[in-house]
Amino acid sequence: MPSDTENSLLDYHPQQYGDDPTSIRDTNKYTDEYVRGFVEKWDELIDWDQRMESEGNFFIEELRKRGVRKVLDVATGTGFHSVRLIEAGFEVVSADGSPYMLAKAFENGRRRGHVLRTIQADWRWLNRDVTGRFDAVICLGNSFTHLFSDRDRRKALAEFYSALKHDGVLVIDQRNYDSILDHGFDSKHQYYYCGDQVSARPEHMDDGLARFCYQFPDGSTYHLNMFPLRKQYTIDLMRQVGFQRVDTYGDFQETYHEADPDFFVHVAEKCYHSLLPKDQRAPADAGHVDYDDEDVTDAGGEGDRR
């Protein structure tokens, strides 16, 4: 006989935000937001084939050129990046806080001939549940914006840092909330949300909340409450935790105008480049961020404009 918990996981529950949805600004809420019905439609939003085409081999190439072999995917979702990296030859461990997401990811992996190594874990206590050290930690799909407090974000980044080997790399992406907050929302979903029949738009925006509404062709509607991270703030946090170099890309491009990209991708290296022999250091360029630098610049050479 299934337990009450197992029966609950099999049930379809509506999202619940109470009488004032914009007042829900809590990191712990995210597991309740990803109800079974929403997760089962998530791949309609992403569209794996279209996203693979638009994303190309960006993440694969960034990891390969750093000699990465073992990857921890801490925001597995329905498994898109875990499966892509497995098929590219990486060893992958797939973690997520949502049991529904992990179940869907495992199902998607099996459908493509892979058995995902899945672990349910909260980032704030990641190393309690995930053992070993990794060449890379990836946190993709705008997932880092589920953390609502500065303390939670610092704790999660410290856990990511600890999960990495001495020369490891962290890859985090985020929406271009700077542009939305400063100029309004104007997204064509060219890269991340490729389902052309699905609408993903902000329903409420302020400095402490980005509430997005997702509408699907069958008329169903779901929401996510997220924190609108400023790009510079995210970069500064990674530096403060200890990452020595941060490259930031706009929609997978090195050169971009600040208001243009839908998403930013941060590639943060743990390695102390100044301690390496010169012939082993990454090439110096206008786009890197060193720990001792007073100013932070983008991979495209442009400073942050909030």
**Residues identified as active-site:** 34, 141, 146, 175, 192
Residue with tokens 């991979």: 299
- Please name the residues in contact with 280: beta carbons below 8 A apart, sequence gap of 6 or more: none
Q: What is the largest CA-CA distance in the chain?
A: 63
Antiparallel, parallel or unpaired: β 245-250 and 263-269? antiparallel
Write the single-letter amino acid at 293.
D
Distance, in Å, from the CA atom of 73 to the CA atom of 135, rounded to the nearest integer, reads: 11
Q: Which among 27, 14, 70 is positioned nearest to 227, based on CA atoms?
A: 27
Q: How far apart are CA 28 and CA 162, in angstroms?
A: 22
CB 126 within 8 A of CB 58: no
Gap between the Cα atoms of 162 and 125, Å rounded = 11
Contacts of residue 26, Cβ cutoff 8 Å, sequence gap at least 6: 148
Tokens of 48: 């794996």
Lookup: tokens for 147: 């953390």
Q: Are strands 245-250 and 221-226 parallel, antiparallel or unpaired?
A: unpaired
